[in-house]
Amino acid sequence: MTKLLVVATSNPGKLREMQAYLADSGWELTLKPEELDVEETGETFVANACLKASEVAKATGNWAIADDSGLAVDALNGAPGVYSARYGQTDAERIARLLRELGDEVSRQAQFVCAVAVASPDGAIALQSEGVCRGEILTATRGDGGFGYDPIFYVPEKQLTFAQMTPEEKKSISHRGKALKALIPQLVAVLSFES
């Protein structure tokens, strides 16, 4: 028996990505209603994920899943952090601003962080997890895949940026992949308990 899990996003790309990760979980994933917009007012990735999952669950009366993720650069005290998507109007502007702020900084360690929360139909947070992928920020873009900061986020163990990786390579080591992978056994357990 499948059960509906509403993904707290209007982005069909993020829905497809989550469907790929959670394909064997037994849940049927669907986008949240377009008109339902939840403002991200939390100060952490976890707070924003919980806020979105809870609000969408209460509004739809279904289980809901939400994630919040971004880039945290060590030399910038964790910036852009929860403001990653609001660091500029376009991906190119966000990358340019980040590179400008880093300047000639030698220490360029950074990490992508993803927090995922699942809320029951009454809005209570039932599950949450977090995934981290460490890397470093290059001085210029490399690769044309992915989105956001992917072209400047270099993973030394792979010797590639996220933008140079195949979707499968990125999925195996990404922050979102790690966070969702950690949730799968719990989601399967919830489904069998609910049935």
pLDDT in tens, 146-195: 889 999 999 999 999 999 999 889 988 999 999 999 999 999 888 877 75
Gyration radius from the chain CA atoms: 17
Q: How far apart (Å, rounded) are the C-alpha atoms in residues 180 and 7?
A: 13
Out of 24, 37, 67, 68, which one is annotated catalytic? 68
pLDDT in tens, 101-135: 999 999 999 999 999 999 999 999 999 999 999 99
Residues in the chain: 195
The answer to whether 67 touches 130, Cβ cutoff 8 Å, is no
pTM of the model: 0.90
Q: How far apart (Å, rounded) are the C-alpha atoms in residues 24 and 180?
A: 12
Q: How far apart (Å, rounded) are the C-alpha atoms in residues 77 and 169?
A: 28
Tokens in use for 65? Answer: 């899943």
Residue-level pLDDT at 2: 64
Catalytic annotation present for 68: yes
Pick the CATH number of 3-194 from 3.90.950.10, 2.40.40.20, 3.10.20.30, 1.10.274.10: 3.90.950.10
